[in-house]
Every structure is written in C-alpha cells, then in structure tokens.
C-alpha cells in the first residue's frame, strides 16, 4: 500500500475517533477505538449520527 494511502487512512481514522469521542463514545464493546478498522469506525460513526438524528430535539446533545 502506498505511503499516501496509508496516511489518508490514518487521517480518516483519527478524524472519526475524535468525532466519536466528542459524542461520548470511547470503546466499542471491549475494544478501544484505536483498535478498530476504518470500516468499523465508519459504521459506528454512521450508527451514532443516525441515532442522534432520530432523537427528539429536547434530548439531542
């Protein structure tokens, strides 16, 4: 894998980890966020965003 692709993946993972931490998510099951793959982080991020969008406005952060 090229150095540029690896850097892009690392940057995207860092971004998603920071976003999830801001949402109050620090682990997924028994695994720390940094242990998850990019795909797992993207899926968890989408799941959290969708759950926030479905929450009544009075309970949303």
Within 10 angstroms of residue 13's Cβ, the number of other Cβ atoms is 18
Q: Is 14 among the domain residues?
A: yes
- Is the pLDDT confidence value at 57 over 80? no
Q: State which residues form the domain around 23.
A: 1-39
Number of domains in the chain: 1
Whether the CB-CB separation of 4 and 11 falls below 8 Å is answered with no
Q: Is 30 among the domain residues?
A: yes
Structure tokens, 24: 């109050």
Q: Is 35 among the domain residues?
A: yes
Kindly report, residue by residue over 15-54, the tens digit of the pLDDT. 999 999 999 999 999 999 999 999 999 999 999 999 888 8
pLDDT of residue 60: 54
């Amino acid at each position: 894998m090229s150095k540029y692709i690896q850097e892009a993946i690392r940057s995207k993972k860092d971004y998603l980890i920071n976003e999830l931490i801001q949402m109050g998510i620090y682990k997924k099951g028994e695994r720390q966020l940094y242990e998850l793959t990019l795909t797992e982080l993207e899926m968890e991020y989408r799941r959290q965003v969708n759950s926030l969008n479905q929450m009544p406005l009075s309970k949303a952060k």
